[in-house]
């Protein structure tokens, strides 16, 4: 059994990790920390876990995380970078669901996240945990930077086109829509039901922190810098991201076949039949990314539709996938969940 | 392996049966019928099932349901009563998720359902499939009448009080609220998002078909007729029923202990700690009924709060529970699902 | 022109007052205070008011509220009772949308609101602002206690029955459901969209602050104390309250005629035809209470369905109605709004 | 008083016309037709109109529409083109809210709408009813083709850039999101709450009927054909369209000033301050289009955010605006509505 700890268990990525890990046959949940709620039973805060999790939240300092085999950070940005070194030194493997180790270029990270990086020397070692790109490196990684939710949906949609060199990478557009759970379980006015329901808006148009992460990933695939306009939107639903991706084709190709081949052996990417329009609910609760590729009116613009559950493939599910890879388990362990529809 | 057929697989109870049975280790899905959609792949209609169900809908007449060990009817009222006899004669065990076999008194059934009963002689044989009441009878039943969604939530909430003889059964009130999936996957104006979202209403106050079913179940527990006012409401959400139950106490008692003892060995009823308010989302996707019992201001009125997922404990999950009982399997087989929260 | 000030303009009752008053032909909006947002343009916080309100929020201390003819308090409980005396002394008439002056019995108020009352001598003078009961007193009042949202919906539904002496008032039940705007525009986790959407729950079953207010109003109508069980619920919508009211009839009567006659001359209470089920959306944005009365299955239980928009008839609209009465204006001035449906 | 008739009053554009016209001081509602519901009181179907509309739906053949001064067609596509000629001949002015007269090129119309045009000779005469472009022509028009909802939001967002010749019109992208009321009040499975809530999807990517309408309007502004990729999406809300528009800038300019100047005298277009992100709820129930213009990261891509209420500025409100223009009334008559927020 793999002894697993979770730092910061009271947010949405935390409770989603618990939902998935509670039924993971090789995982023993050992510690779930929360500074504010230490001593509270986890299932008192989240009654959905009654019968599945009988732990209490523990204080981070007394949680003996260093006795674990693996620790997930489901914390705000800036926490994991302070604690990862000690855990790694104690032989614990670390998966950070926040952004601390995603961006390789330290000044870029510091500019977008507005703080000095506490542990730049680990950034180079950290493996970006997108299994469809870095599967082999993840298997042996000590430290995995779990991708952001938007970056997962956008990269998986663009990668086949860019890897094949088919599109103009100087002018990519990602118009992305997220459910409000992406904003986290935080007391804020903007995501109250009475504010966010029955309405729709863009946000962060001048610049969103996921922009450099996406650009880094696409540039690696392209072999050069890419030009990207990324516009996130808030949509009145709980879970789900829908990315609508636009690019200009340079060379003709069978796009449907390209996508199907690229992801033929991927357990968590599902290329839909030609002409499809994936719904976010078709992946609700599951670790799947469903993708459709279109070329409207036979023109030069390729439109890719990519949907994920932001809390699963966009966060906790992908983190469990990474755990499975790191510990040599079948990739779908604990992730074999049929989406909840309706 | 148990060979299972589903008649009427295109509604919400049908797709929910598929979601649960797709991961049932002892079930082999053999046929899913749909008169209107015969020949269509199931996962083309429900992409959430891609990778889990590779069957096509078959025409009811050509589906060889009589080769199955068990058949679920996920059909409108009035269908199962026409087909059950032939299946039973062929040795197939039948679980009807509609109302055809729920009401023992034929005139009462015919009055509320507005049609002549096609098969009254089977009504007496049919076992009402509420495991918390009829577990032993279900195990040997050939024909199970799966309870309605409201009746499940209301009966489980009232039963401990009535069985213990603590409350005045001449004047019970059940104020119940349901998500719109309870209305089924039917093209109707009233349950369009643009009609039903951001609004709330009662319906069927003069009389709802679940009234006689609930009264029958409560009368059996009470040993006499009961007086019940039942008011269902439509609430703007997809899944979930919340029943708020009111009764007048006759004899003092430790209600919390009463409820805990009544359901101590029930795998799918969870009595919450005193003072709790269950949320429907705490059972989303799961076969659990969560219950809290209150006595506000120390008065004579007992208030019971009972929540279920109408498509699971209120329909498909309870049907799978019945299947497990009928075939001697562990009761939680395929039902060990952590609710999806948020 | 009536010079009007609003204390606490950043909550939902504040912005709703602004929506209604912006088109009030006899009102000149003079000051809108907010301690936290002083200096901010109102329409920067609420872009829906662009073109209608060009004021900035002012600091309460510098807002010269005593120059107004009337001041609305759209503040949390406990504020108006500290400031009302000075305003009244300056000749300003006051309408409090919070609870400070609603409960006549000071110890009861202090018990439920958890603070000492700062101004008990004004409580006796304050007029409870339910026009359907206190119209004449409101016209001459200096200080109006605007009713709570639940109390408005529940009292209007019960009053005809109680005033006529038709029902047993020892055992009334009010099962009420509210949209989340009733919780106010406050940064709290419980009313985040990701928490409150697609779910339903009761809250405050042991006791809710609106219980004594409702009981006081019903007792006045009954001429004696009443027994009331009041269970509020949170429903996943923005606006609207639906109260489902249960009582036992003592004397036979034509209930439909009773309700129609009671409210025949009321501009803001609409008794629906027999057999109706009012939807909350049918009053969205309007100051109307729609009511239907049922006697299911011809039994002894009377069921009344009463819907309001909690921010209009349950708060700001009723406050404007009171203003109109206090200043001798036509009652519907600025309240002649067609509900927004869908 | 202008005598007004509405053909097809039972859909969402019909009831929205009624909401607005009920308070129009110069309009006398004379006839509202519905083939299916003739004889039914309008306010029995739409209780929100109780007290405002006391008409019954009349049969189209017996409604004496030719006695009206103006008739709105709130019908499916293909109806107005069969009836407009007779009305015009009788001296009635016609506003069609469907698509029959929007596309000047008949073969294009017939291809996208899948039927032969019944009245091509009127297409040339019809004035496209976008007041911000065709105000003068509308004033004298006998027949106005009221714009589609998406075309309104998209054109108003693109027009300043295109009219000024600032952007490359060969490669425009319009990523648009609509609430489900845009699909109409029709009994269909796809827009049930249980299907469309808590989910998000694109639709019509290969081609949507509003594409040629938008291209026609933009081409007129550009003076040449334009290249446009238009992707509509369904978002889980009732009302509202959010268009996110992308284009490549050719010539540097002060975009904020450009937009402000273009719409300085328009009563129903509101250019937000630089850096803004309009929400659809900020125009809920109102005839306003709110627009923000961005140039993310100082790059070559201009992003315009444009929101409307699809039933008001995108349908009924714009139709009333056209009526006001046609009859020489102040443009905002009956349209001076403060948006409903929250």
Q: What is the ipTM of this complex?
A: 0.97
Q: What pLDDT shows up at residue A101?
A: 98
Percent of residues, chain D, with pLDDT higher than 70: 100
Question: What single DSSP character describes residue C192?
Answer: B
Q: What pLDDT shows up at residue B60?
A: 86
| Spatial distance between the Cα atoms of B226 and C187, rounded to a whole number of angstroms | 46
Say yes or no to pLDDT of A257 above 90: yes
- B194 and D12 in contact by Cβ < 8 A? yes
Compute the half-sphere exposure of residue B167: CA atoms within 13 Å on the CB side of its CA: 30
Distances (CA, A) of B108 to B116, B128, B220, B224: 11, 16, 16, 17
Question: What single DSSP character describes residue D2?
Answer: E
Say yes or no to pLDDT of C232 above 90: yes
Q: What pLDDT shows up at residue B50?
A: 98
Q: Which chains touch D (3 or more CB pairs under 8 A)?
A: A, B, C
Say yes or no to pLDDT of C249 above 90: yes
Say yes or no to pLDDT of B64 above 90: no
Distances (CA, A) of A7 to A32, A84, A127, A315, C69: 6, 11, 19, 14, 57
Residue among C203, C205, C228 at smallest CA distance from C217: C228
> Of the candidates C19, C282, C284, which has its C-beta nearest D338's C-beta?
C19
Q: What pLDDT shows up at residue D60?
A: 86
Question: Which residues from chain C sit within 8 angstroms of residue A187, using beta carbons?
Answer: 187-189, 192
Say yes or no to pLDDT of C63 above 90: no
Say yes or no to pLDDT of C337 above 90: yes
pLDDT-derived band at B317 (thresholds 50, 70, 90) equals very high
pLDDT digits (tens, 9 = 90+) for D81-135: 999 999 999 999 999 999 999 999 999 999 999 999 999 999 999 999 999 999 9
Q: What pLDDT shows up at residue D64?
A: 87
- If DSSP states are collapsed to H, E and C, what string results for chain B? CEEEEEECCCCHHHHHHHHHHCCCCCEEEEEEECCCCCCCEHHHHCHHHCCCCCCEEECHHHCCHHHCCEEEECCCCCCHHHHHHHHHHCCCEEEECCCCCCCCCHHHHHHHHCCCCCCHHHHHHCEECCHHHHHHHHHHCCEEECCCHHHHHHHHHHHHHHHCCCECCCCEEEEEEECHHHHCCCCCCCCEHHHHCCCCEECCCCCCCHHHHHHHHHHHHHCCCCCEEEEEEECCCCCCEEEEEEEEECCCCCHHHHHHHHCCCCCCEEECCCCCCCEHHHHCCCCCEEEEEECHHHCCEEEEEEEECCCHHHHHHHHHHHHHHHCCCCCCCCCCCCCCCC
Residue among B276, A179, A44 at smallest CA distance from A9: A44
Chain D, nearest residue to B178 by Cα? D194
Question: Which residues from chain D sit within 8 angstroms of residue C15, using beta carbons?
Answer: 341-342
**What domains, with CATH codes, occur in chain A?**
2-125 (3.40.50.720), 149-309 (3.30.360.10)
Q: What is the average per-residue pLDDT within B303-325?
A: 98
Q: What pLDDT shows up at residue A38?
A: 94
CA distance B309 to chain D (A): 14
CA C195 centroid distance within chain: 26
Q: What pLDDT shows up at residue C30?
A: 95
Give the gyration radius of chain C's Cα atoms.
19
Say yes or no to pLDDT of A61 above 90: no
Q: What is the average per-residue pLDDT within C317-337?
A: 98
Q: Which chains touch B (3 or more CB pairs under 8 A)?
A: A, C, D
Say yes or no to pLDDT of A60 above 90: no
- D303 and A231 in contact by Cβ < 8 A? yes
Q: What is the average per-residue pLDDT within D269-295?
A: 98
| Spatial distance between the Cα atoms of D5 and D26, rounded to a whole number of angstroms | 14
pLDDT digits (tens, 9 = 90+) for B205-258: 999 999 999 999 999 999 999 999 999 999 999 999 999 999 999 999 999 999
Percent of residues, chain C, with pLDDT higher than 70: 100
CA distance C124 to chain B (A): 27
Known catalytic residues of C? Answer: 149
Q: What is the average per-residue pLDDT within C297-319?
A: 97
* Helix axes B149-163 and B131-140, enclosed angle (nearest 10): 110
CA distance D175 to chain A (A): 7
Percent of residues, chain D, with pLDDT higher than 90: 98
- Top residue of B182, B236, B299 to mutate, by most chain C CBs within 10 Å, is B236
3-state class (DSSP) for residue C173:
strand
Q: What is the average per-residue pLDDT within B169-186?
A: 97
pLDDT-derived band at C341 (thresholds 50, 70, 90) equals very high
pLDDT digits (tens, 9 = 90+) for A79-129: 999 999 999 999 999 999 999 999 999 999 999 999 999 999 999 999 999
Average pLDDT of every residue of chain A: 97
- A197 and C237 in contact by Cβ < 8 A? yes
CA distance A177 to chain C (A): 15
Q: Is A188 on the interface with C (CB under 8 A)?
A: yes
Average pLDDT of every residue of chain B: 97
Percent of residues, chain A, with pLDDT higher than 90: 98
Q: Is A198 on the interface with C (CB under 8 A)?
A: yes
Q: Return residues 220-279 of B near A (CB < 8 Å).
A: 238-239, 270, 272, 276, 278-279
Instruction: Region of A114 please: left (phi>0), alpha (psi -120 to 50) or beta.
Output: left
Say yes or no to pLDDT of B284 above 90: yes
- D173 and A246 in contact by Cβ < 8 A? yes
Say yes or no to pLDDT of B294 above 90: yes
Question: Which residues from chain C sit within 8 angstroms of residue A238, using beta carbons?
Answer: 193-194, 197-198
């Amino acid at each position: 059994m793999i002894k697993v700890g979770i730092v910061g268990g009271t947010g949405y990525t935390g409770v989603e990790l618990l939902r998935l890990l509670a039924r993971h046959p090789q995982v023993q949940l050992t510690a779930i920390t929360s500074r504010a709620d230490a001593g509270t039973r986890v299932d008192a805060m989240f009654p959905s876990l009654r019968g599945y999790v009988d732990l209490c939240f523990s204080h981070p300092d007394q949680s003996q995380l260093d006795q674990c085999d693996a620790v997930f950070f489901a914390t705000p940005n800036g926490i994991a970078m302070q604690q990862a070194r000690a855990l790694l030194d104690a032989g614990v493997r670390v998966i950070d669901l926040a952004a601390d180790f995603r961006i390789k270029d330290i000044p870029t990270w510091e500019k977008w996240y507005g703080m000095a990086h506490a542990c730049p020397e680990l950034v180079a070692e950290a493996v970006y945990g997108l299994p469809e790109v870095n599967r082999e490196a993840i298997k042996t990684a000590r430290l995995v930077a779990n991708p952001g939710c938007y970056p997962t949906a956008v990269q998986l949609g663009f990668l086949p086109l860019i890897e094949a060199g088919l599109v103009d990478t100087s002018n990519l557009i990602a118009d992305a829509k997220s459910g409000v759970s992406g904003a986290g379980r935080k007391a804020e006015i903007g995501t109250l039901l009475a504010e966010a329901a029955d309405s729709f808006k863009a946000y962060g148009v001048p610049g969103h922190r996921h922009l450099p992460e996406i650009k880094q990933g696409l540039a690696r695939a392209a072999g050069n810098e890419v030009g990207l306009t990324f516009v996130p939107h808030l949509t009145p639903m709980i879970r789900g991201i829908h990315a609508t991706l636009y690019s200009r084709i340079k060379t003709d190709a069978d796009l449907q076949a390209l996508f199907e081949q690229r992801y033929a052996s991927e357990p968590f990417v599902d290329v839909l039949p030609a002409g499809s329009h994936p719904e976010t609910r078709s992946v609700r609760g599951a670790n799947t990314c469903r993708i459709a590729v279109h070329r409207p009116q036979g023109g030069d613009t390729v439109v890719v539709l990519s949907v994920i559950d932001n809390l699963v493939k966009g966060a906790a599910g992908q983190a469990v996938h990474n755990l499975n890879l790191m510990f040599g388990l079948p990739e779908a362990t604990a992730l074999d969940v049929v989406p909840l529809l309706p």
